Structure 1
Amino acid sequence: MKILLLHQYFLEEDDPGGSRWNEITKTWTDLGHEVAVIGGMMHYNGNAKREEYKGKYFVKKKQGKVDVYRAHVSESYNSGFLGRLWGYFSFMFSSLWTGLFKVKGKYDVVIVTSPPLFVGISGYLIALFKRLPMVFEIRDLWPESAIDTGVLTNKWIIKLAYAVERFIYKKARLINVLTPAFFNTLRDKKGIATDKLIMIPNAADFSLSEDIVQTFDRSSFRKENGLEDKFVITYVGAHGVANHLDQLLEAGKLLEDTNILFLLIGQGMEKERLIKKADDMQVTNVRFHDPVPKRDVFKFILASEMGASVLKKVDTFKTVYSNKTFDYFSCQKPILMAIDGVSRELVEQAQAGTYVEPENASEYNRIIRAYLADPARLLREGQNGYIYAKENFDRKVLAERYLVEIQRIAHV
């Protein structure tokens, strides 16, 4: 098969962040399929283009066996709501131009992964002009999540977003959702027929964790990074409005009499404010770390006692799986799950950690102290999560299942 993917946030080879599609496309090309990606020139937590893209609107390159067409994204992307919105629209236009005039050859299918929602317009038009079926993937319910977190408040933009959503759902030949709650929402509230819906969720990358652990010296790594004698709880991901990482600062303050260390790895619009707040609060057990490549992320997780999955306390987030939960699973670390709904159910079914009510510092305090008093839980719950994910969320298995569904609608 020849597959064309539109993904604004498709990672560079050395980028930190959610690598779902980097891993899926690698699996597909390893199986002998051809994949081209139209991706953006800005990391989703970045403030500027990489030097190789400065002053450019289009760059073609190779990442492994994948052809990657990098298209322009406005550098105002992380400068606030209007900047973010223009970042979405700039990629919508540049990806359309790239798909129509730069990507050569015949393809069997166009896949669009959202958010951002508006890239669905580009995907639809590319599919229309190239006479291809379109698969639309929903990684997050949008615009609901933006509305619930207070990021999107303009009624006209909300109205436009819902209209775009309805149009794309109608035009897509197949819609993939990442969680059971998304599936139910589209079926019950959006009126999408079940024969148009599939669920290929996020997954665990066991190949990377198993490769690293063969030579990983945990003691030396902890010493090199100042983690000795600490009970390390690592959070990896965005530092944005949706994450509300203030709750970790507040929990840290209550746990200052212990050896707990919250290690926050990542970037985002809220990071500078959070660093200042931590300084103002004189929190001594929360450490901020710059983003690191995926391989180094796994090393930090392996060197930790627990992983934390954290989001703001809003109803929409009860429908999502956190990307990093699966990384914690693959590294055999129990999870401090501060997300209610399907993510909580996932961890409880796997017996791989504990739910903590989001934004409730006293609950963080109670639950973490329970782990300090019973260290045997760490090994037991970490192994539970690994086994559960191996049985249900293996990246390679799910990528192959996705391919079967695509072949069905592309008639290949």
Structure 2
Amino acid sequence: MKSILIITSYFPPETGAASNRMFHLANGLQNQNYKVSVITPLPNYPTGEIFPEYKGKFKCTTIENNITIHRLWLYASNSKNKFLRLFAMFSYSFSLIWFFIWNKIPQTVIVQSPPLIVAFTNMIFLRSKNRKLILNVSDLWPIAGLELGAFKKNYSYRLLEKIERFNYKKADIVLGQSDEILTHVRSLIPNKTSYLYRNYPDFEVAELVLPYPSEGKIKLVYAGLLGMAQGIFKLCKQLDYSYLEFHIYGAGAEQKKIETFILNHPELPIVYHGEILRTKLHSELLNYDITIIPLLNRIYGSVPSKIFEYARLGLPILYFGGGEGESIVKKNSLGWTAKAGDYEALNKVISCIKKSELTLEFKKNIRKTALENFDFKTQFKTIKKLI
């Protein structure tokens, strides 16, 4: 039985796209009779605090679904202070090095990036040990940070660019979750072996029904991270509520601002439901007409995994982020798109959607497209060949 190690900064019980991506990868490998182990920090995302059941621990090793999971100490923080966040990344890197020194490392290692510095640590240390390194790139940093306004083009940014290039160069194989990521990698390292590996979901789907009457306002839902990149707080302020009611699930940096806004504007039909388990969320989402997938700014290389997850549920998508994600929604007739950052255009699109159009047949067609084109098991065959 071949052994494989996955190194990631996010893993369940943490929530979010990165956590789900690495869980499905680990589970998929385990189901194909690989001996899978995972190294990840003590759970802390997105709150920036170690989860209560893990507090006070330096290391925690468990076996879950026949996967050995090593959770290592880090200084947890989601502070806006760049130095604190940088220290958090370094602390995890130090824990990784300590683990590498005292433990046997499998010949094949899959490394998640970003964070760049954590990936850099793995590339330096494990490359010297002659391990086969597969770099799984889910977002382009530091480019994404620049587009989000987190970075400026200064010495620090140029240093991160050098680290990024180093990571691509030292990886034996680069997996990118979008065509834009692969294009960027090949522009830096032209002969690098690279493959498209999207974040397709792997879960059983419930029977589609229409549990609500067709009249009334459109029930629009957002579920996911309430972070700066998604811009849900601004969305709450900019939406035209003449045609819809807005429901929100999730947690993150903007949560308190959103809750305060709702409290100060009781006349607006906005409901915050908090954060719930992903399995329960899937059944909850079937009660809504449309889901919105927004990005505050168009981010090169970014394709939100919610596109594939919600299409599998049969939930019509209103995509508001531009780029490759917009092209996927249009090409596969998964719903509607609005020009990224243009709230007037967004409200115009919403005003043209008739609730009578949101039929059971429409939703079944979306699910059918997802099952045929966004299949985890079919895509996974490529990974097996690489490993």
Given that 1:239 and 1:270 are in contact with CA atoms closer than 8 Å, whether structure 2 keeps it comes out as: yes
Partner residue, 1:197:
194
Question: 1:53-202 maps to which residues of 2 (within 5 A)?
Answer: 53-78=54-79, 80-101=81-102, 103-104=103-104, 107-153=106-152, 155-188=154-187, 190-194=188-192, 196-202=193-199
Post-superposition shift, 1:309? 0.9
1:239-293 C-alpha deviation (Å, 9 max, x unpaired): 11111113421343x21x34x2222211111221233234445562222222222
Indicate yes or no: 2:256 matched with 1:269.
no
Q: Distance in 2 between matches of 1:385 and 1:80?
A: 42
Q: Given residue 269 of structure 1, which amino acid in structure 2 is its aligned partner? A: A
Alignment partners' CA distance in 2, 1:277 and 1:154:
34
The answer to whether the 8 Å contact 2:168/2:185 transfers is: no
Q: Does 1:3 align with 2:37?
A: no
Q: Secondary structure at the match of 1:204?
A: coil
Question: Does 2:237 align with 1:250?
Answer: yes
Give the CA deviation at 1:44: 2.7
Aligned position for 1:360: 342
Please say if 1:325 is aligned against 2:324: no
1:404 aligns to 2:385 (yes or no): yes
Distance 1:84 1:249, change over 3 A: same
CA 177–339 in structure 1, closer or farther in 2 if over 3 Å, else same? same
Residues 169, 189 of structure 2: 8 Å contact kept: no
For 1:44, the equivalent position in structure 2 comes to 45
Task: Give the alignment's TM-score, normalised by structure 1.
Answer: 0.86
**Contact 1:204–1:389 (Cα < 8 Å) also in 2:** no
- In structure 2, give the amino acid aligned to 1:397: T
Q: How far is the alpha carbon of 1:395 from its aligned partner?
A: 1.4
Over 3 Å counting, the alpha-carbon distance change for 1:242 and 1:378 in structure 2 is: farther
TM-score of the aligned structures, taking structure 2 as reference length: 0.91
**Match for residue 329 of structure 2 among 320, 326, 347:** 347
Rounded to whole Å, the distance in 2 between the matches of 1:381 and 1:360 is 27
Measured in 1, the distance between the counterparts of 2:219 and 2:174 equals: 39
Residue in 2 that maps onto 1:410? none
The amino acid across from 2:74 in the alignment is: V
Query: Does residue 357 of structure 2 align to residue 376 of structure 1?
Result: yes
Query: In the aligned structure 1, how far is the partner of 2:290 from the partner of 2:161?
Result: 39
Structure 1: gaps of 5 or more residues: 407-412
Deviation at 1:229? 6.3
* SS of aligned partner of 1:321: coil
Partners of 1:139 and 1:250 lie apart in 2 by 30
- Matches of 2:267 and 2:342, distance apart in 1: 17
Q: Which has the higher contact order (CA 8 A, sep 6+)?
A: 1
SS at match of 2:326: helix
Tell me if structure 2 keeps the 8 A contact 1:248–1:262. Answer: no
In structure 1, what is the Cα distance between the partners aligned to 2:40 and 2:359? 39
Pick closer, same or farther for the CA change 1:57–1:336 going to 2, 3 Å. same
Q: Residue 183 of structure 1 contacts residue 197 of structure 1 at CA under 8 Å; is this kept in 2?
A: yes
Cα distance in 2, alignment partners of residues 39 and 17 from structure 1: 15
Cα shift readout 1:341-380 (whole Å, capped 9, x = no counterpart)? 1101000010111111233332222222222x25224545
CA contact (8 A) 1:234 1:262 kept: yes
Deviations 1:85-138 (A, max 9, x none): 22222112212222332x43x523111111111111232244235421111111
Q: Distance in 2 between matches of 1:140 and 1:28?
A: 22
Contact 1:234 1:300 in 2 (8 A): no
Deviation, structure 1 residue 217: 8.6
Describe the superposition over 1:159-207 as per-residue Cα deviations: whole angstroms up to 9, x where unpaired: 221121111111111111111111112223x23325x1111111133x3
Aligned residue for 1:8, secondary structure, equals coil
**Secondary structure at the counterpart of residue 352 of structure 2:** helix
The size of the alignment, in residue pairs, is 383
Amino acid at match of 1:376: E
RMSD value, Cα: 2.4
Shift of 1:43: 3.4
Is 2:321–2:341's contact at 8 Å kept on the other side of the alignment? no
For 1:156, give the aligned amino acid: Y
Percent identity between matched residues is 22
Give 1:248's aligned amino acid: L
Provide the C-alpha distance between the structure 2 equivalents of 1:79 and 1:55, rounded to a whole number of angstroms. 24
Counterparts in 2 of 1:78 and 1:294: CA distance versus 1, 3 Å: farther
Alignment map for 1:306-321 (pairs within 5 Å): 306-314=290-298, 317-321=299-303
What does residue range 11-30 of structure 1 map to in structure 2 within 5 Å?
Answer: 11-12=12-13, 15-18=14-17, 19-30=20-31
Structure 2 stretches of 5 or more lacking a match? none
| C-alpha displacement of 1:308 | 1.3
